[in-house]
Amino acid sequence: MARMPKPATPKYRTTNWREYNAALRRRGSLEIWFDPGMAWLAAADSRPGRPQRFSDSAIELCLTLKVLFGLALRQVTGLVASLLKLAKLDWPVPDHTTLCRRQKTLAVTFGGRPSSGGLHLLVDSTGIKMTGEGEWKTRKHGASCRRQWRKVHLGIDAKTMEIRAIEITTNEVGDAPVLPDLLAQIPPNERIAIVGAGGAYDTRKCHAAIAERHAEAVIPVRQNGQPWKEDGPGVDARNEALRAIKELGRKNWKKWSGYHRRSLVETKMHCFKLLGPRVAYRTLDRQTTETKVRAKVLNRFSQIGSPTTIRIT
């Protein structure tokens, strides 16, 4: 019996390589991240106590440079001091203790652009190390202390690849309970067309949260999933997906529904970890600020320029 020929491996081509190559170079330019006209000192307020000396924009700039170049806080202060000197600005520089203290309460907006024709939100989570030795030391000599992790939950725009929602939790928290919080970060006046997620999000609360935003759920039913009773929002759509999976097969359903686009959020997770394999702080509030700064850096990368790729074979 003759063997069936293997399908040809698809090939892709980037059509805007010249513009994308220029965008990659611009990502390392300090002019992208530093604005000499920014408000560096905090505005006076009438609150009791010692007033803040530096604005939130100044603190966020320092933390952005820390994430971007992988520096410690003391090294960041040296970088910012030299940057201000080159710009001929006689501004004071926040010390490392000020940066650490202000990071605890800093509000960071990561600047995702709103979608025009309905948001296709892709959701997933990943673990990022908090404490513990590296893999080589653990394999060679064993672990001398327990490793600890944080879970980063991301929601990205499938069209622009920008991060639109982010949450950080302890590793005891599952994926599904966080989905309503991610959807709540999308403005109520912005229409969500599709929410794509893995089988871990096949729960009543997730489908109900998606139905409340009048969006379509592209979530595969679990392997042993059974029809739900007709007593809640999102139940009909979920049961319809179950019937389609049984009739078409799980593999065909994934192709038909566009489920495989969820791999884009896994690509964004890889980019997220390229900014550092672990979080630098021990407290959850500072770790939350650090992850939001990372999200803002990645969104800025996408806004500077992204590749346009087409399939040629």
Element (H or E) spanning 210, and its range?
A: helix 204-212
To 5 degrees, how large is the angle CA 200–CA 201–CA 202? 95
Helices 56-69/284-304 angle, 10° precision = 80
pLDDT at 47 (0 to 100): 74
- How distant, in Å, are the alpha carbons of 30, 62, 112, 281, 301 from that of 99? 20, 8, 25, 12, 24
Please provide residue 120's backbone torsions phi and psi, each rounded to the nearest 5 degrees: -100, 100
pLDDT at 45 (0 to 100): 75
B/e letters for 186-201, b = 16+ CB within 10 Å, e = fewer, are beeeebbebbbbbebb
pLDDT at 132 (0 to 100): 64
Q: What is the per-residue pLDDT across 45-80, written as a single tens digit (0 to 9) for each?
A: 777 777 889 999 999 999 999 999 999 999 999 999
Q: Backbone dihedral region of 305: left (phi > 0), alpha (psi from -120 to 50 degrees) or beta?
A: left
98 and 54 in contact (C-beta within 8 Å)? yes
Q: Which of 187, 194, 234, 240 is nearest to 218 (CA)?
A: 194
List strands edge to edge, sheet with 163-170.
Answer: 163-170, 148-157, 119-131, 192-196, 216-218
Return averaged pLDDT per consecutive 10 residues of the chain, 313 residues in all: 69 91 91 90 79 92 94 95 94 94 91 87 91 66 72 94 94 92 94 94 94 94 86 89 92 92 92 89 90 95 91 85
pLDDT at 217 (0 to 100): 94
What is the spatial distance between Cα 202 and Cα 197, in angstroms, rounded to a whole number? 9
